[in-house]
Amino acid sequence: MTKKKIVAATGCPTGIAHTFMAAEALQKAAEKLNVEIKVETHGQVGIENALTPEEIKAADGVIIAADKDVQADRFHGKPVVDVPVSKGIKDPEGLIEQILQGKASIYYASGYEGTDEGEIVQDGAPEGNSRKWVHTIYKHLMNGVSHMLPFVVGGGVLIAISFLFGIYSADPKHEQYNEFAALLKEVGDLGFSLMVPILAAFIAESIAKRPGMVVGFIGGLLASQGGAGFLGGILAGFIAGYIIILLQKLLKGLPRSLDGLKSIFLYPVLGIFLIGIIMKPIIIPVTGLNEGLMDFLASVQSTNPLLLGLIVGAMCGFDMGGPFNKAAYVTGTLLLAEGNLYFMAGVSAACIAPPLIIAFATVLFPKYFTKEERNAGAVNFILGSTHITEGAIPFAAKNPIVVLPIIMLGSSIAAMLTYLFKVQVPAPHGGFLVLPVVTGAFQWVIAILIGSMVGALLYGMYRKKAAQK
């Protein structure tokens, strides 16, 4: 009997953990089900193990387990299962079974007659459920965030390093002035200034492919220069993408011989004109909203850090890389663009704590964990220290009703203490690797360790009680 062939693509916004966990889970499930599979990963370093046109053509079906754009138009006409990356980790066998049992829907690429930006069609009709629509919007947003992250990390860390020479080391009129520090600050500021345009550009690119990117970039620049910040950038990205979709529909009647003219001339000229016309009047109210949000968060950080820490910690610990975690993480990342380094400090602490909770529990209560779990616990020290939350997922999955509240509590304590200590973190990733540029680094480590130890003790006592039963 010939083995069924499946191809897959995985990708998460940060491109560090979930991407590869989903790929590994799919490969193990395929081996168990006697299915041949090739998984293409869309990590932070780019596409690895890329699928060839021949492999896609020969496949019996496609699995997309991603929260970012993975160039799905390649899969036109194939049975496709399109889910969030977390589903690829949690239920890989179920995804493969959908294809084996013929339950996967046919994917039609953007621009195909009767479809919009790339729809999955079953029995000739597009899937219209709201969950699919929400996931599509989320995927577009995360595509922008994914491409924006390196600018945040690079720019933020360089600016922070410049401050090590002195707070005023980039000011030529001050006695602390240092030429090298000024260069770091200048280059870092440039990286930061591109964050919002890049965010908007790749939201639009996810919606309308390459024609949308230039229009999104200009819309993001308008938002950034007009003071509308990341909210304006998100809005500009979606508007730009759908402007191109609209233009594609309006210009569909032109001869195919003019396709080159459309992509190189009509789309950018008309798109940039339209995004300018649309963005100009909405920049002022969005700027007001953006500034109001910044003021609100700043006031909560100073007047009620415990409440903010509780909310941030609970969100980060609840699904560890899922939508709630990403909502807090993306907010912290985007606030860095506004110069708010406090919010991200709490988010980072809350994301680092879960794997450390597991790691400390396996050390403090070793006899209540199997050898495999203790080995995994040791690995979690490394994962936690480098801001990779997902190492705690296998442990939480065994009894989420008990374990998740413990992890959420530990994460919340770490975030609360971080806000009380007024720690500032200039980079959205890296964990303890960015300690040299963290303002209040010692307090930050203490906050994380306290939250992790509280969680570890509770989790260890739970495992002890479960073993005794």
Q: How many residues would you count in the chain?
A: 469
Closest by Cα among 469, 458, 446, 445 to 364:
458
CA distances from 220 to 134, 142, 210, 276 (A): 23, 16, 16, 10
Contact 63, 99 (CB under 8 A): yes
CA distance 388 to 441: 19
Q: Of all residues in the chain, what percent are helix, strand and coil, respectively (each to 5)?
A: 70, 10, 20
CA 239 – CA 276 distance, rounded (Å) = 11
Q: How many whole angstroms separate alpha carbon 118 and alpha carbon 268?
A: 21
Q: Where are the alpha helices (DSSP H) in 263-399?
A: 267-303, 305-319, 323-337, 342-364, 371-385, 393-398
Catalytic annotation on 351? no
Residue in the structure block whose two tokens are 């609970």:
314
Which of the residues 12, 413, 414, 434 is marked catalytic?
12
- Only one residue has tokens 């949690």, namely 90
By three-state DSSP, how is residue 89 classified?
A: helix
The DSSP H or E segment spanning 137 is helix 130-163
Residue entry with tokens 């990286």: 191
- Could you write out the DSSP letters of every residue in 246-286? HHHHHTTTS-GGGHHHIIIIIHHHHHHHHHHHHHHHHHHHH
- Classify strands 79-83 and 61-66 as parallel, antiparallel or unpaired: parallel
Nearest to 193 by CA among 239, 140, 141, 156: 156
Handedness of CA 176, 181, 183, 188 (dihedral sign): negative
Q: Are 148 and 202 in contact (CB under 8 A)?
A: yes
Active site residues: 12
